[in-house]
Amino acid sequence: MSSDTFTHSRALIGRHLRHLTRTPQQLMSITLMPVVFVLVFGYLFGSAIDVPGGQKYQEYIMAGIFIQVVMSNLGLTALGVVGDLDNGLMDRFRSLPISRAAVLIGRTTNDLILVAWSFVLMSGIGFLIGWRVHNDFLSVLGGFGLLLLLGLATSWLGALLGLALRSAEAVNAIGAIIVMPMSFLSNAFIPLDGLPGWMQSVAEWNPVSAVVLACRKLFGNAGGSTGDSFPMQHPIPMALVLTVALLALVVPLTVRAYEKAASKK
Partner 1 sequence: METAISAEGLRKRYAEHEVLRGIDLAVGAGEVLGLLGPNGAGKTTIVRILATLLPPDAGKVTVAGYDLAREPKEIRRRIGLTGQYAAVDAVLTGRENLRLIGVLLGLGKRKARARADELLEQFDLADAADRPSRSYSGGMRRRLDLAASLVATPSVLFLDEPTTGLDVTSRQLLWQMVRQQVDSGVSVLLTTQYLEEADQLADRLVVLDKGTLIAEGTPEELKRKVGGERLEVSVATAAELPAVVKAVADASADPPRWTRRPVASPSRWSAAWTPSPRSRPS
Residues that bind partner 1 (CB under 8 A): 4, 7-8, 11-12, 14-15, 18-19, 22-23, 87-89, 91-98, 102, 260, 262, 265
Contact of 212 with 63, CB cutoff 8 Å: yes
- In angstroms, the CA 48 to CA 37 distance is 16
User: Which residue's CB is nearer to partner 1, number 26 or number 139?
Assistant: 26
Shortest separation between residue 92's beta carbon and partner 1, angstroms: 4
Q: What gap in Å lies between CA 118 and CA 195, rounded to an integer? A: 31
Name which of 4 and 136 has its Cβ closer to partner 1: 4
Distance between CA 155 and CA 150 in Å, rounded?
9
Shortest Å, Cβ 158 to partner 1:
20
Measured in degrees and rounded to the nearest 5, phi and psi for residue 51 equal -85, 125
Sign (positive/negative) of CA torsion 10, 12, 18, 19? negative
In the chain, which ranges are continuous DSSP H helix?
A: 3-22, 24-39, 57-86, 89-94, 102-128, 137-165, 168-184, 197-205, 207-219, 230-233, 235-260
d(CA 61, CA 51): 9
To the nearest whole angstrom, how small is the minimum distance from the Cβ of residue 17 to partner 1? 11
Residue 19 CB, nearest distance to partner 1 (Å)?
5
Rounded to the nearest whole angstrom, what is the least distance from the CB of residue 256 to partner 1 in the complex? 13
Residue 44 vs 260, nearer CB to partner 1: 260
Nearer to partner 1, 96 or 177 (CB): 96
Q: Which is nearer to partner 1, 136 or 259 (CB)?
A: 259
